[in-house]
């Protein structure tokens, strides 16, 4: 049976703009999950959203909407971001999911029955942005010691968890399992600042917060949002219900978190698990932060410098691989790292466009030019070849070693060491000179073979980290895109294999021009008028009955052509269940007729038919308009039969 590997990200608060800090943790976990899958392990990768609590309740109230109305679009955006970044999770848990809520109640019930939860009165300070309780002595200058913001004095009836009881067992666990909390500096912090100072019991319920999980034994109280949130790591596996996912995957192999929430993961969470009699996770890693101008990049603080931190914009401009690569390569693992758009661009240009992109395109181009696109024979091995082959063959061990330390920057460095050596090998062997001498044809073939092999090996080694380029590189050398680590050994490419030249995988970025454009775009994004414009565009409220008058159905475009004499219009033939309709839409600037055929779209089917440029239109196809000149068709996210009603 395959070894299991269970890895988790924190579950994020849906309380504002998503930024690359969230992408940092999730992309690292995705790379680790992909790496372990490629090792043949049975991986479960969990991420999600932490949706209850005072913060969400307040934000929703401020906008005059329900918490659900507030969080749903933010959660959809986050899922979209993971899709854009090719994050392959096994489950996206929402703490509002029914199974999670039931399991949290089960946990509280169990702790209540065992006497680890008891009723008393809470009096102390609360930091809403951090959802943290503090005693007066812990405050720094009367403010939250974690984030420096205002705290409020709270006094209410509350249930408490006997956290104090578990301090000795926690200290013992740290001592006996040095791998449990990493990096080492975090252990010292936990031991000196919290465990040695003595733990106080933790207030784990609120009567003043309604947006939360009601306690099964006292419905006036809702669960403290951190207990609700931490439980996700087991509830996602069906803890407390009939589900063998828990039996298969628990304990987690790794909880990857930012350093500011280590305290919750390394003290409260293991104490809860001890109280439940469940095994502890194998490891908690508290990574460093992405900083801007020396400050934590954060959704709740306006960072001083305008940098492009919007992941959607970054992926749109430079592609998922560029963003993933930057996050995985640039910041020394475990430490903080300053983010600037310039450094991002420099890194992408230097490593991806210059080193990797050039190696692949030069190698393929030389094989196409000199050998008609057929891979030459491996030929005799000469002195300089040996070093290259040894480095390529040894890279996997280095990647494995780095990934065992969770260190993606080191793993990538090992791969790019091979890439750099191969580029140097081109300079040393000068294939363009060999190509001029017919007597050196065999040597030219051998050199190009070696380079092609290096491209193939690096592509496979890069699979956990990049999600687009490896498949393209492998395709360029006619290799199986699904090739795994078992095919890494140098020499697997077959003589005569077809080699094709692809357009540049990573086009070079003109950094000066790009920075100027980015600065302009960031400034425009920040213009307050934008928000006003959005507010102006708001339509008046309608009742559900009014909305119900609109008939929306899923249709399949079965034919499409341009409307003569119009630059904007396309004429689609749309199958809607058993019916076929003629529809005209103003989307010719965004979609070609060929692209439209086969698309599933949402059609307003009870609009009065009209003629547009002489063509009958019996409905309207729905599109999303980003207000900046971009347009996208609205489609069902899963396969649905045409004719299905949209409600």
Interface residues toward ligand ME8, by CB under 6 A: 10-13, 21-22, 24-25, 50, 229-230, 232, 257-258, 260-261, 289-290, 296-298
> b/e string for 556-592 if b means 16 or more Cβ within 10 A?
bbeebeebeebeebbbbbbbbeeeebebbbbbbebbe
- Please say which residue, 89 or 590, places its beta carbon nearer to ligand ME8: 89
Q: For the chain, first and last CA: distance in Å?
A: 45
Strands 620-621 and 600-604: antiparallel
CA atoms of 265 and 171, how far apart (whole Å): 14
Nearest C-alpha neighbor of 81 from the set 27, 9, 32, 7: 27
- Please say which residue, 91 or 296, places its beta carbon nearer to ligand ME8: 296
- Please say which residue, 213 or 461, places its beta carbon nearer to ligand ME8: 213
The CA distances from residue 487 to 38, 60, 85, 481, in Å, are 11, 53, 26, 12
Nearest C-alpha neighbor of 231 from the set 16, 52, 70: 52
Instruction: Compute the least distance from the CB of residue 297 to ligand ME8, in Å.
Output: 4
Residues in the chain: 647
Instruction: Compute the least distance from the CB of residue 300 to ligand ME8, in Å.
Output: 8
- Please say which residue, 227 or 473, places its beta carbon nearer to ligand ME8: 227
- Please say which residue, 249 or 289, places its beta carbon nearer to ligand ME8: 289
- Please say which residue, 230 or 455, places its beta carbon nearer to ligand ME8: 230
Q: What is the dihedral of CA 379, 381, 385, 387, to 10 degrees?
A: 150
Nearest C-alpha neighbor of 183 from the set 266, 330, 261, 285: 285
Instruction: Compute the least distance from the CB of residue 70 to ligand ME8, in Å.
Output: 15
* 505's tokens: 């995988």
- How many Cβ atoms from other residues are within 10 Å of residue 446's Cβ? 21
Residues 339, 259, 230, 176, CA torsion sign: positive
Instruction: Compute the least distance from the CB of residue 235 to ligand ME8, in Å.
Output: 11
Which residue reads 């928000």 in tokens? 531
Instruction: Compute the least distance from the CB of residue 20 to ligand ME8, in Å.
Output: 8
Instruction: Compute the least distance from the CB of residue 232 to ligand ME8, in Å.
Output: 6
- Please say which residue, 258 or 281, places its beta carbon nearer to ligand ME8: 258
The CA distances from residue 26 to 257, 287, 328, in Å, are 9, 12, 10
Q: Could you say which DSSP state residue 374 is in?
A: B
In sequence order, which ranges of 151-297 are alpha helices (DSSP H)? 167-176, 184-190, 225-230, 232-235, 244-249, 262-263, 269-276
- Please say which residue, 8 or 361, places its beta carbon nearer to ligand ME8: 8
- Please say which residue, 202 or 448, places its beta carbon nearer to ligand ME8: 202
Instruction: Compute the least distance from the CB of residue 139 to ligand ME8, in Å.
Output: 20
Which residue reads 């950094």 in tokens? 511
CA atoms of 598 and 590, how far apart (whole Å): 16
- Please say which residue, 230 or 399, places its beta carbon nearer to ligand ME8: 230
Instruction: Compute the least distance from the CB of residue 450 to ligand ME8, in Å.
Output: 40
Peptide bond into 243 cis (omega under 30): no
Instruction: Compute the least distance from the CB of residue 552 to ligand ME8, in Å.
Output: 34
If DSSP codes are grouped into helix, strand and coil, which group holds residue 595?
helix
If DSSP codes are grouped into helix, strand and coil, which group holds residue 585?
strand
Q: Are 643 and 603 in contact (CB under 8 A)?
A: no
At 626, give phi and psi (nearest 5°): -80, 0
- Please say which residue, 255 or 378, places its beta carbon nearer to ligand ME8: 255
- Please say which residue, 261 or 474, places its beta carbon nearer to ligand ME8: 261
Instruction: Compute the least distance from the CB of residue 320 to ligand ME8, in Å.
Output: 18
């Amino acid at each position: 049976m395959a070894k299991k590997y269970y890895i988790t990200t924190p579950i994020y608060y849906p309380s504002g703009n998503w930024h690359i800090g969230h992408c940092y943790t999730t992309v690292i976990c995705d790379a680790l999950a992909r790496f372990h899958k490629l090792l043949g392990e049975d991986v479960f990768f969990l991420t999600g959203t932490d949706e209850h609590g005072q913060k969400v309740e307040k934000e929703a109230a401020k906008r005059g909407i329900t918490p659900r109305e507030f969080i749903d679009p933010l959660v959809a955006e986050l899922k979209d971001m993971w899709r854009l970044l090719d994050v392959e999770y096994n489950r996206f848990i929402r703490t509002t999911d029914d199974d999670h809520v039931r399991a949290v109640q089960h946990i509280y019930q169990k702790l209540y029955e065992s006497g680890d939860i008891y009723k008393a009165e809470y009096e102390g300070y609360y930091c809403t942005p951090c959802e943290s309780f503090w005693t007066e002595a812990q405050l720094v200058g009367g403010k939250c010691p974690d984030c420096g913001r205002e705290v409020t004095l709270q006094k209410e009836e509350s249930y408490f968890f006997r956290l104090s009881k578990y301090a000795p067992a926690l200290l013992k666990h740290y001592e006996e399992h040095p791998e449990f909390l990493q990096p080492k500096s975090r252990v010292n912090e936990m031991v000196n600042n919290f465990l040695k100072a003595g733990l106080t019991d933790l207030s784990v319920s609120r009567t003043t917060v309604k947006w939360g999980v009601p306690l099964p034994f006292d419905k006036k109280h809702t669960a403290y949002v951190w207990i609700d949130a931490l439980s996700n790591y087991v509830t996602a596996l069906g803890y407390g219900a009939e589900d063998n996912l828990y039996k298969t995957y628990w304990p987690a192999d790794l909880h990857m978190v930012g350093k500011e929430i280590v305290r919750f993961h390394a003290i409260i969470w293991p104490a809860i698990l001890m109280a439940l009699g469940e095994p502890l996770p194998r490891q908690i890693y508290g990574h460093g932060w992405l900083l801007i101008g020396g400050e934590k990049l954060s959704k709740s603080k306006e960072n001083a410098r305008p940098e492009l931190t919007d992941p959607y914009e970054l992926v749109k401009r430079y592609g998922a691989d560029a963003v993933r690569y930057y996050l995985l390569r640039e910041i020394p693992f475990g430490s903080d790292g300053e983010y600037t758009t310039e450094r991002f661009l420099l890194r992408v240009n230097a490593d991806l466009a210059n080193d990797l992109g050039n190696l692949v395109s030069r190698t393929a181009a030389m094989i196409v030019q000199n050998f008609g696109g057929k891979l030459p024979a491996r030929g005799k091995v000469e002195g300089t070849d040996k070093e290259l082959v040894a480095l390529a063959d040894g890279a996997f061990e280095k990647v494995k070693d780095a990934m065992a330390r969770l260190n993606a920057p080191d793993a990538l460095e090992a791969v790019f060491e091979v890439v750099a050596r191969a580029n140097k090998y081109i300079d040393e062997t000068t294939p363009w000179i060999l190509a001029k001498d017919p007597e050196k044809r065999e040597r030219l073939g051998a050199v190009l073979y070696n380079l092609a092999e290096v491209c193939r090996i690096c592509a496979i080694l890069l699979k956990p980290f990049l999600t687009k380029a490896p498949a393209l590189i492998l395709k360029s050398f006619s290799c199986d895109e699904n090739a795994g680590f078992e095919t890494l050994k140098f020499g697997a490419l077959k003589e005569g294999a077809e080699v094709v030249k692809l357009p540049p995988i990573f086009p070079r970025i003109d950094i000066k021009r790009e920075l100027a454009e980015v600065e302009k775009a960031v400034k425009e994004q920040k213009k307050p008028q934008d928000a006003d414009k959005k507010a102006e565009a708001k339509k008046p409220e309608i009742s559900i009955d009014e909305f119900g008058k609109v008939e929306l159905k899923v249709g399949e475009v079965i034919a499409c052509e341009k409307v003569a004499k119009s630059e904007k219009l396309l004429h689609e033939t749309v199958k809607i269940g058993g019916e076929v309709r003629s529809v005209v839409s103003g989307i010719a600037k965004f979609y070609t007729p060929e692209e439209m055929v086969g698309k599933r779209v949402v059609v307003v089917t009870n609009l009065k038919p009209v003629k547009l440029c002489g063509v009958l239109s019996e409905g309207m196809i729905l599109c999303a308009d980003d207000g900046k000149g971009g347009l996208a068709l609205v489609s069902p996210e899963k396969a649905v039969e045409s004719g299905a009603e949209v409600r």
